[in-house]
Amino acid sequence: MHLLLIVLACWAPALAATQQVRVGAYHFPPYVIKPESESPAGVLPELLTALNSAQDDYRFSLVPTSVTRRYRDFQQARYDLILFESPEWGWQYTELHKLDLQIIDAEVYVAQKQPGRDQSFFDSLKGKRMALYTGYHYGFADFNAEQAFLASHFQASLTYSHDSNLLMLLHDRADISVVTRSYLPIFQREYPQESQQLLISQRADQVYHHHALLRPGSPLSAAKLGELMRLLRDNGRLPELLARYHLRDARGSDVEQANPIRH
């Protein structure tokens, strides 16, 4: 009995020292797939697993939110930080701390292949129907994500699925969609025949320079998160994860510039 009490006494300080860090997550492949499920998938859940395995001071856990509710949940302290975000995506008037994750992705234009259609098809949006992801901020729209604005100015149909938007192109229900570049290999693997019918632009609507956004009062500072990310870079876990999900390390990449279509 005395030995058990001694063991518990030794464990207690260690348990108390572990700080819980809640990470906001909404469905957006390949970053997060079904965060409300028992087994969320994607880049973020795997990154949090790696962070938890690499150290014992913090315990990272997912808190499901939505693309539109994430701002309010952040302000109401339902979670402590959100990853793979940009300060430009509607966060301009929210008090926060930020960390550049040094991870790059992009969004590219996609259309259906047709005889005589080439890259010049992406020179203008005039008269073209758009298929877009609800709640997302696009370069061609000056990052205005309001549904009414996108529908009236760009003939936009809005969904909650990259797959739906790409299939709309193939069913001639839209002319152009904007898709996260890292997601395209997933679609190409799952829909090989349909993928052969897609024309992918060489120009990027926007280039993601991914950030972590931390609320004031978070148990984890931006500086400490930076240290943990460097640890994962040094032990090889982060480079392996980025390569598997077709993401780029900004430190080893040429500076890529966005080239959004102007209406």
pLDDT of residue 14: 47
42-92 per-position pLDDT tens digit? 999 999 999 999 999 999 999 999 988 999 999 999 999 999 999 988 898
Residue 243 neighbours by CB distance under 10 Å: 11
What total of structural domains would you count in the chain? 2
Q: Which residues of 33-72 are buried (b: 16+ CB within 10 A; e: fewer)?
A: bebeeeebebbbbbbbebbeebeeebebebbbbbbeebbe
Q: Provide the residue range defining the domain that includes 77.
A: 19-104+208-250
CATH number at residue 150: 3.40.190.10
227 shares its domain with 113: no
86-141 per-position pLDDT tens digit? 998 889 899 999 999 999 999 999 999 999 999 999 999 999 999 999 988 899 99
237 shares its domain with 152: no
196 shares its domain with 212: no
Q: Decide if 256 is inside a domain.
A: no
pTM flag (> 0.75)? yes
84 shares its domain with 94: yes
Q: Decide if 258 is inside a domain.
A: no
32 shares its domain with 83: yes
110 shares its domain with 193: yes
192 shares its domain with 236: no
